[in-house]
A and B are shown apart, each in its own frame.
Chain A
Amino acid sequence: MNRSRQLNRVGAASLARWIVITALLAAAGLCYVYLTLQLHRLGDRKKSLETELMGLRTQNDVANVQIAALTSRSALQRRLKEGYLKMIPIAEQNIVRLAPIRPAPEENAIRPVANDQVGR
């Protein structure tokens, strides 16, 4: 009786080891499946974001084209002719010209100062 008991006994440690190994393998497999699914999902998300970005770029390009068309010289001229814009040419007497500043021949040269306001 004792002998048969001894023969059929399963080692608890061994069983536990196998259970742990199996559990780990199962977990790894599940993780792999989960992560693969996540990758697919992220890929789809990436694709939809790319599509969205492309759509926004397209909208931006279309808007830029509209801005360029509306602000083009031809469009402005047309608006001017149609009377939507009012522009009056500047008369010569209304132009004030500032004399250009002439740089000194040598940047650090000492120059005499003429100030008529200062006098005693």
Chain B
Amino acid sequence: MRWNGRTRCALVCIGFVLLFSAFSFRLVYLQLVKHDEYAGLAAEKHVYKQPIYAERGAITDANGEVLAHNVPVEIVVADTSHLNKEKVAEAVALLSRDLKIDADELWGKLGSDRHYIVLKRDVPESAADALRAKLREQNLRGIYFEHDAARLYPNGSMLCHVIGFTDFDHKGIQGVEASMDEYLRGQDGYRYIEHNRAGQEIVLYRGQERASRDGYQVHLSVDLNLQNIVENEIDAAVREYSPERATILLMRPQTGEVLAMANRPNFDLNQRSTARPEQMKNRAVIDMMEPGSTFKIVTAAAALNEKKVRPDTTIYCEKGIWNYGGRTLHDHRPYGELSVQDILVKSSNIGAAKLAISLGDQKFYEYIRRFGFGERTGVELPGEINGMIRPPQNWSKISITRIPMGHEVAVTPLQMTVAMATIANGGKLITPRVVKSITTADGKTISEFSPSVVRQVISEETAKQIGRALRGVVSDRGTAAAAAVPGFIIAGKTGTAQKVDPHGGYEKGKYIVSFTGFLPADHPEFVGLVVLDDAKTSKPELNYGGLVAGPIFARIAEKAARYLDLAPQPDLIKPTAAGRVASTSAPGH
């Protein structure tokens, strides 16, 4: 080979070709073979997935009045690796003063070497803005703000057990907040973004993005106007009788919509951290009680429906004392012959017991279950219990005489209301509802709850017969004359049950008094239940359902009828319920 200029030139060219080929191969290797690996490493440095938080849906009443919604707040966090060590004292002083946090606590938090320390949650926007400005002014780094939302309940303690509340992760814990959490929560979105060295987003390099979907709005069947009436009356009852517990319910019998639900004790939803567990219980669905004489509607309805008796069939009530199964059963008055109708009106224990015996254990038990006792009603409230109904094989010899008057059984106030609603609704058992519909924020309906008939418990005719008998209860002849509302015919039943001692037997001198009824008796617009546990009356002989719970029901019913614009019958306008309480001498049972 001749070593001339041309050869040297060729060699240089070949050298370059080889060099650039090597570079090219390396480039191809990095760009194609190692692409994913290095792209991942680069993304870790610059790209991150920014969450876009969905807003939790609001809860409103039947008229659209807001019961629960969100307020924008900020979470103040610290990254100690970004804090200037010489300025920690300055930061502690500022944060302690502005966020009202103990300085020692702050020193403890900022003294660690963690990258993410939550200093305070639920800081209002205005306070956060002021603090942000001060931090900038004093050139303090390492303190950051994160957007968040706090749940706010404008009505405080009103309807607290139904609405419920959320934890700090915005997860429903109680009430509708928990049962409807799936709808209220919404779906968070995300966005892949890149930061520059200063930590600012480079909008040009925004990656994949998915918008968030805000939570749906849940509309309750509860009407806040009726709820307000109930809350005022339950407060008045607590002031007057100082009961251990109290529950009042209003329900529309045809649809099962719960119109109002109040319990005492209660708590303020905005200050739930200070509430005791006792205050947080929704006793309408998680508390069992012996219903007492209100349960006689089940006994009478079963006997009438099975055609064992007619409303005018007379039953001998043993002059108030009857020995059965080696135990004595008493009536509060020595009744002789009473019609089935009058057994309800006078609330005869012996009469009710004889009606149940005519049915037999098994049939009577079947009717109790058909009325919905011993199983959850299916209302959209968490923690609902079944109550306690023992099967006939577990009954004692005298159970058939005690269960008809509401002893040896345990029911929830809601179950008792639903049973009375069944009478008001022509014998149809309806699932109670607290949620009316679910919509998007702009009003598009997602789901609407229509009335759900569980079963026809008794015939329409039997329901009418019971309804007629229950009108007599709220009359001068009955046990609940004080529950009468001027201008309206009310059907109802009183209940007075001795309190069960958790250690066995009954507590002496302690009673659960109740009244459940509906109005107007012909075309019921609402069913109501008033229960007071251990009401303290001025005299022990006044502690009866008809004298304590009856007037409370009357006051609620009168106001509710006015609100619902139910026209009173002029010929029925008589003295007010309060006046009747003073004048009545017959003890309500």
Binding site for B on A (CB under 8 A): 39-40, 42-44, 46-47, 54, 58, 61-62, 64-65, 68-69, 71-75, 77, 92, 97
Partner of A43 from the list B147, B158, B203, B224 (CB cut-off 8 Å) is B203
On whether the beta carbons of A61 and B70 are closer than 8 Å, the reply is: yes
B71 engages A92 (CB within 8 Å): no
Chain A residue numbers with a CB within 8 Å of B201 are 47
Give every chain B residue within 8 A of A58 (Cβ-Cβ): 72, 125
Q: How far is the CA of A106 from the CA of B15 in the complex (A)?
A: 103
Contacts of A72 on B, CB cut-off 8 Å? 66, 154-155
- Rounded to whole angstroms, the CA-CA distance of A116 and B568 in the bound complex is 30
6 contacts between A and B (CB under 8 A): A42-B203, A61-B70, A61-B71, A69-B152, A71-B154, A73-B155
Question: For residue A42, which residues in chain B have a CB less than 8 angstroms away from its CB?
Answer: 203
A interface SS class? helix
Mark contacts of B187-229 with chain A using CB atoms, 8 A cut-off: 1 yes-contact digit, 0 otherwise.
Answer: 0000000000000011110100000000000000000100010
Answer whether residue B320 sits at the interface, using C-beta atoms and an 8 A cutoff.
no
- Chain B residues near A77 (CB, 8 Å)? 228
| Other-chain contact of B567, A46, A54, A97 (Cβ < 8 Å) | A97
Query: Does B204 contact A74, Cβ atoms closer than 8 Å?
Result: no
Q: Which residues of B contact A92 (CB under 8 A)?
A: 568
Closest to A45 in B: B203
10 further interface pairs, Cβ-Cβ under 8 Å (given A44-B203, A64-B69): A39-B204, A43-B203, A43-B206, A58-B125, A62-B125, A68-B66, A68-B69, A69-B152, A73-B65, A73-B155
> Is B142 in the interface zone, CB < 8 Å from A?
no
Give the chain A neighbours of B147 by CB distance below 8 A. Answer: 54
Residue interface bits B105-127, CB-to-A below 8 A is 1, else 0 = 00000000000000000000100
For the complex, what is the distance from the CA of A46 to the CA of B191, rounded to whole Å?
15
| Number of cross-chain contacts by CB at 8 Å | 51
State in angstroms the CA–CA spacing of A41 and B489 once bound together: 76
> Which size bracket describes the interface of B in this complex?
20 to 34
- The interface residues of chain A lying within 8 Å CB-to-CB of B72 are 58, 61-62
Main secondary structure of the interface of B (DSSP, over half): mixed
B interface, CB within 8 angstroms of A: 65-66, 69-72, 125, 147, 152, 154-156, 158, 201-204, 206, 224, 228, 565, 567-568
Q: In the complex, which residues of chain A have a beta carbon less than 8 angstroms from the beta carbon of B202?
A: 40, 43
Known: A62-B125, A73-B224, A74-B158. A46 touches B203 (CB 8 A): yes
What B residues does A54 contact at CB under 8 A?
A: 147
In whole angstroms, how far apart are the Cα atoms of A3 and B152 in the complex? 97
Residues of A within 8 A of B154 (CB): 68-69, 71-72, 74-75
Complex CA–CA separation, A73 to B155 (angstroms): 6
Taking the nearest CB of chain B, how far is it from the CB of A85, in angstroms?
A: 14
* Complex CA–CA separation, A69 to B55 (angstroms): 19
CB distance from B204 to the nearest CB of A (A): 5
CB distance from A1 to the nearest CB of B (A): 30
Contact B156 A65 (CB under 8 A): no
Contacts of B155 in A (CB 8 A): 72-74
**Contact among A61, A65, A69, A73 with B228 in the assembled complex (CB-CB below 8 Å):** A73
What is the minimal beta-carbon distance from B65 to any residue of chain A, in angstroms?
7
Residues of A within 8 A of B152 (CB): 65, 68-69
Bound Cα distance from A75 to B154, whole angstroms? 8
| B568 adjacent to A65 (CB under 8 Å) | no
Q: How far is the CB of A74 from chain B (nearest CB, A)?
A: 5
Q: A20 CB to closest chain B CB, in angstroms?
A: 30
Interfacial chain A residues near B125, Cβ < 8 Å = 58, 62
How far in angstroms is the closest Cβ of chain A from B391?
46
In the complex, residue of chain A having the shortest beta-carbon distance to the beta carbon of B202: A43
A57: min CB distance to chain B, Å: 8
Complexed CA–CA distance, A32 and B387 (Å):
76
